[in-house]
Amino acid sequence: MRLALVMMGGGARAAYQAGALRALAELAQEASPERREMPFTVICGTSAGAINATSIASHADDFAQGAARLVDVWSNITAGQVYRTDWPGIAAAGARWLAALAFGWATFGFGARRMPRTLLDNGPLEHLLARTMSFHRIEQMLDERRLHALAVTAISYSSGRHLTFYQASEPISAWRRAQRTARMVALTPAHLLASASIPYVFPAVRLELDGRHEYFGDGSIRQIAPLSPAIHFGARRIVVIGAGAPSPEVPAARPDIDVYPSLAQIGQQVLASVFLDSLGADIERLEHINRVVLQLPHTVEPESAWHHVDVLTIAPRKRIELIAARHLLELPASVRMLLGAVGGNRASGAAFASYLLFERAFTCELIELGYQDTLAQREVLLTWLKPPAGGEPARPEAARRG
């Protein structure tokens, strides 16, 4: 039974996934002590989750080592490794944005080269990827059949299409749906930069598609079916590691209805709609299909285009914005100044700032949270990660949704 791992986006919040992967590696070792390779043969990532997905996929032959390397990167990260935090860079971008907000886009004229494109310059992230990623190992893992497929997603700002870029161990026909399509490519750092390009925050990335160039941005935008690529690759069980929406049992934050929302609070809701809204709906659709499939005779299901797919979700059991509020002062003074202009350096704007809080103390706390939240589902995960003794294992009802 093919097992898939899907990792959603969330900027700096994706440090949570590193802790979850560390716990999954330990559980995989416990479930099968003699096995070093990763039990997940299909890996899909979106936004910052695409970076984590590619990193762990490149170590499909040694799950524990791959998870440890990812934890090390996230444990030692700083904002300056992801985007420019120097005063000249921040001041220039901030001044252009504030001028645009205050005086309108006419300030810059049509086609002006100085017109602001994004809030931050993520040039340093490109260097970080070059230093920490081993793209040549992706092809190696596929050739050795330790990995079946790796996919990352991005949105084309040029055409509005949502693209899944993938590499696979064998030819897999690309699929096309309404405003969704897929392409088999050799994944590069540019694909990861495009997938992780948070709208308005990081610049779009120019990629070649069907013989022409288009500009791509964050794969979470218009991602109405985040589980679709894994299912197309033949997964029958999917573990989803989120990094944004808390588990359903976590109470909602109490709103301050008497205070007019800051730009950061409004921006947080925009980012929430980008990063959080589609997964729950997609799981509900899948559960509906599962109920239909359960009504099919067992002799019919293998021949049907519909199959039963189990999903288990790992999501924060604490509100990440509350954690972020304790760490806002760890951001460089230049970034705090920029966030202060839009209300992002106060507790009420911490949710927005959390996407940009690439600082060790914050990411280490998220790593530990992801680790503990994953271990909280230990028993179910052990049944998923244990290699089947033979034949198809029973469908674990408790594992439909974590």
Helix axes 15-31, 360-375, angle to 10 degrees: 40
- Give 252-256's long-range contacts (Cβ < 8 A, gap of 24+): 253/319, 253/321, 253/322, 256/348
Mean pLDDT of 116-123: 82
CB contact at 8 A, 250 and 70: no
SS3 assignment, position 132: helix
Tell me the HSE value of 207 on the side-chain side, using a 13 A CA sphere: 30
**Confidence at 391, pLDDT banded by 50, 70, 90:** very low
Q: What is the pLDDT of residue 397?
A: 39
CA–CA dist 152, 217 (Å, integer): 12
- Give the whole-angstrom CA distance, residue 357 versus residue 331: 7
State the average pLDDT over residues 350-373: 95
Task: Choose the weakest-confidence range: 62-71, 76-85, 168-177, 387-396.
Answer: 387-396
Spatial contact of 353 and 328, defined as CB atoms under 8 Å apart: yes
Q: HSE-up of 51 (CA within 13 Å, CB side)?
A: 34
Instruction: Specify the range with the lowest mean pLDDT, choosing from 213-222, 273-282, 329-338.
Output: 273-282
For residue 274, what pLDDT band results from cuts at 50, 70 and 90?
A: low
- Could you give all domains of the chain from N- to C-terminal order, each with its CATH number? 3-84+121-247+259-399 (3.40.1090), 89-119 (no CATH)
The residue to which tokens 């992002």 are assigned: 344
Which of 160, 79, 168, 169 has its CA nearest to residue 125?
79
Give the pLDDT confidence score for residue 206 in this predicted structure.
Answer: 96
Q: Which residue has the tokens 């897929």?
A: 182
Q: Which residues pair with residue 100 across a beta bridge? A: none
Half-sphere exposure for 66 (CA within 13 Å, toward CB) = 29
Please tell me the distance from the alpha carbon of residue 272 to that of residue 246, in angstroms, as a whole number: 12
- pLDDT the model gives residue 138: 97
Do 61 and 141 touch, CB atoms closer than 8 A?
Answer: yes
Q: Is the pLDDT of residue 399 over 60?
A: no
- The Cα 58–Cα 167 span in angstroms is 12
Spatial contact of 229 and 153, defined as CB atoms under 8 Å apart: yes
Residue of 165, 224, 168 whose CA lies nearest to 195: 165
Give the residue, 56 or 258, on which the prediction is more confident: 56
* C-alpha to C-alpha distances, 205 to 123, 214, 365, nearest whole angstrom: 11, 8, 31
Q: Residue 5 carries which side chain, given as an amino acid letter?
A: L
Integer-rounded Cα Rg, in Å, for the chain is: 21
Please give the Cα distance from 344 to 62 (Å, whole number).
40
Torsion angles phi and psi, residue 53, rounded to 5: -65, -45
